[in-house]
């Protein structure tokens, strides 16, 4: 897939009037997360979580600094920072994740004789789809509703970690932090010089040049 916003990098604006001090402090911290650090998940659980994250939000292999999605999920669990509500059918967040990772590996082992992270991408996707559609073996999951866990916990926690990272913002052409400068050009097909330029067929080089000037 060609890059829709070639060369666009939100972080280029770090020292511009689009970032206030608080934003710089918060994003610096996020950029410094060690992708291998895990304080909540055990060494046994960790590869399973990483494999899940890679399938849910795949990142380009040549990305200089990929979003440390698994470590961000781990941080959320470690701090136990919940969302303020829990579906009555699900156990508390941390317990739900622990039980689900165990169930996923049990399911993988019973189907294929290998743990989840040892499977190829296609089999991993098949398994994840089975969970999403509720087509999993009840034995491994016990009374944990797999489909609900997938929708309300797994997708929520993994996807919200990825799209909280500047790498994802650059990928989708989001302006990113914007205080105090904000924006001026509000109408259709208008971009401020500090916004991402989109490559249309034939305009790839122009977009790349404009994106190099974003700041």
Partner 1 sequence: MSDDAEHTPRAIDGHAPDVFHHGGWVPMRQHGEDDAVDFAIVGTGAGGGTLACKLAEYGFSVVALDAGPYWRPLEDFASDEHHQAKLYWTDERIVGGDNPLQLGANNSGKSVGGSTVHFAMVSLRFRPEWFKARSKLGYGADWPLDWREMWSYYAEVENTLKISGPVNYPWGPKRPRYPYRAHEINAAGLVLAEGAEALGIAWSPTPLATVSAPRGQSPPCVYRGMCVIGCSTNAKQSVLTTWLPRALKAGAEIRDLAMVGRIEHDKSGRVTGVRYHRQGRWRFQRAKNVVVAGYSIETPRLLLNSASSRYPDGLANSSGLVGKNLMVQANQAVWGIMEREIRAYKGPPSLAITEHWNYTDAGKDFFGGYAYMSQGPLPLVWSGVQASKRGLWGRPLIDEMERYNHHVGLKIVGEFMPQERNRVTLTDERDQYGLPIPRVTYSYCDNDKRLIAHSLAFMRQALEAAGATEIWDETDDTCHLNGTARMGDDPQTSVVNADCRSWDIPNLWICDGSVFPTVGGVNPSLTIQAIACRTADRIKARAAHGEL
C-beta of 63 vs 139, nearer to partner 1: 63
The contact mask relative to partner 1 for 179-208 (x = CB under 8 A, - = no) is: xxxxxxxxxxxxx---xx-x----------
Q: Which of 15, 42, 83, 95 binds partner 1 (CB under 8 A)?
A: 83
Q: Which residues of 126-152 are buried (b: 16+ CB within 10 A; e: fewer)?
A: ebbebbeeeebeeebbeebbbeebbeb
Min CB(9)–partner 1 separation in Å: 16
C-beta of 129 vs 139, nearer to partner 1: 129
Min CB(5)–partner 1 separation in Å: 8
How long is the chain? 215
C-beta of 12 vs 18, nearer to partner 1: 18
68 lies in the binding site for partner 1 (CB under 8 A): no
187/25 Cα distance (integer angstroms): 32
Contacts of 163 (CB under 8 A, 6+ apart): 169
Interface with partner 1 (CB under 8 A), residue total 64
195/47 Cα distance (integer angstroms): 37
- Determine how many CB atoms are found less than 10 A away from the CB of residue 24: 13
30 lies in the binding site for partner 1 (CB under 8 A): yes
Q: Whose CA is closest to 157, among 75, 91, 90?
A: 75
Q: Are 76 and 164 in contact (CB under 8 A)?
A: no
- Binding residues (CB under 8 A) for partner 1: these are 1, 4, 18-23, 25-27, 30, 55-58, 81-89, 92, 125, 128, 132, 151-152, 155-156, 159-160, 162-164, 168-169, 171-191, 195-196, 198
């Amino acid at each position: 897939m060609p890059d829709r916003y070639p060369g666009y990098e939100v972080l280029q604006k770090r020292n511009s009037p689009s970032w206030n001090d608080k934003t710089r402090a918060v994003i610096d911290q996020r950029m410094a997360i060690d992708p291998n650090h895990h304080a909540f998940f055990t060494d046994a659980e960790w590869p399973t979580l990483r494999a899940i994250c890679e399938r849910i939000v795949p990142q380009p292999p040549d990305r200089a600094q990929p979003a440390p999605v698994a470590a961000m999920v781990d941080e959320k669990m470690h701090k136990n920072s919940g969302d303020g509500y829990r579906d009555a059918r699900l156990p508390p967040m941390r317990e739900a994740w622990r039980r689900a990772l165990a169930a996923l590996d049990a399911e993988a082992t019973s189907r294929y004789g290998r743990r989840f992270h040892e499977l190829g991408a296609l089999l991993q996707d098949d398994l994840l789809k089975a969970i999403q559609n509720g087509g999993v073996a009840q034995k491994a999951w016990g009374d944990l509703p797999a489909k609900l866990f997938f929708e309300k916990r797994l997708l929520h926690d993994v996807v919200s970690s990825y799209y909280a990272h500047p790498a994802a913002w650059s990928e989708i052409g989001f302006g990113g932090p914007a205080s105090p400068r904000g924006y001026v050009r509000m109408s259709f097909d208008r971009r401020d010089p500090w916004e991402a330029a989109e490559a249309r067929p034939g305009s790839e080089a122009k977009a790349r040049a404009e994106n190099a000037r974003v700041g």
